[in-house]
Structure 1
Amino acid sequence: MADKTNKSKQSMHEETRQVELVIGKILRVGVITSAIVILIGIAMYFMNGGGGYDNGFPKRFASIFSGIAAGKSYAVIMLGVFLLILTPVLRVVVSIYAFYKENDKLYVIITTIVLIILVFAMMLGYRS
């Protein structure tokens, strides 16, 4: 009976370790990807001699994606910033899954509330 409990604990520990490794990879890949996209945008800025916009920079998703299609450097830089913002949000989503697998209901609830707050704040920022 004790052997079965030890194997269960080892399995749970190994799964927790795997989730922590995934979270670390998500953070690393997200930051590196966003940095590369921003650097590409900066290089485009110097090659094109400007950002591609007369006034400011794109603020809406549609204008960012249409600007990328048009080869506007500010749009590429904004995509990199957007990817950087999404990186910790994705980490929160993976953490909810990890806490769920550990049967830690309190942390699932707390982390879900954090995710709701993040999404709500992003929506408010998008509207303004």
Structure 2
Amino acid sequence: MDKNTKEQMTEEMADVQLIIGKILRLGVIISATVMIIGLVLLIVKGNGGYPHNAFPTDFTQIWAGIAELKPYAIMMLGIFLLILTPVLRVVVSIYSFYREGDSLYVWITTIVLVILGISFVFGILR
């Protein structure tokens, strides 16, 4: 690699790291905002929208609850968005390692992403 190519790669990696930081911040801000909206609705309505203060536990219930503006469903969406934030970071990291030409870390990070995906599937199927 010549000096110009190395400088471009360093600049691009700095940009990717900046994007990763923005993804994490934005994910937390969005999820916190959704949670606050759910909390405000809970205070206004006086209940979570479900009998016996149960929470929705699958995506079908969550989406249906969001359509009906049920506070607990909106709060669960906020939690889901918070969980999704580091997963997006893993995806961006795979790209970053690929661009760096670091195949070992591409594989390791891809394995982490697969493990996350499997855990989500098992969590849904439970």
Q: What band does the TM-score fall into relative to the shorter chain?
A: over 0.9
Q: Which runs of 5+ in 2 are unaligned?
A: none
Q: Which residue of 2 aligns with 1:34?
A: 31
Structure 1 outlier segments of 4+, above 2 Å: none
After TM superposition, the score normalised by the length of structure 1 is 0.95
Q: Which residue of 1 aligns with 2:72?
A: 74
Amino acid of the residue matched to residue 27 of structure 2? G
Q: Which residue of 2 aligns with 1:43?
A: 40
Q: How far does residue 127 in structure 1 lie from its aligned partner after superposition?
A: 1.4
Aligned pair partner of 1:14 in 11, 16, 27: 11
- Per-residue CA deviation, residues 23-44 of structure 1 (Å, 9 max, x unaligned), is 0000000001000000100000
The root-mean-square deviation of aligned C-alpha atoms, in Å, is 0.9
Q: Which residue of 2 aligns with 1:89?
A: 87
Amino acid of the residue matched to residue 114 of structure 2? I
Q: Which runs of 5+ in 1 are unaligned?
A: none
Amino acid of the residue matched to residue 112 of structure 1? T
1:104 correspondence with 2:102 = yes
Amino acid of the residue matched to residue 5 of structure 1? D
Q: How far does residue 89 in structure 1 lie from its aligned partner after superposition?
A: 0.3
Paired residue secondary structure (2:49):
coil
After TM superposition, the score normalised by the length of structure 2 is 0.97
Amino acid of the residue matched to residue 50 of structure 1? N
Q: How many residues were matched structurally?
A: 125
Identical-residue share of aligned pairs (%): 55
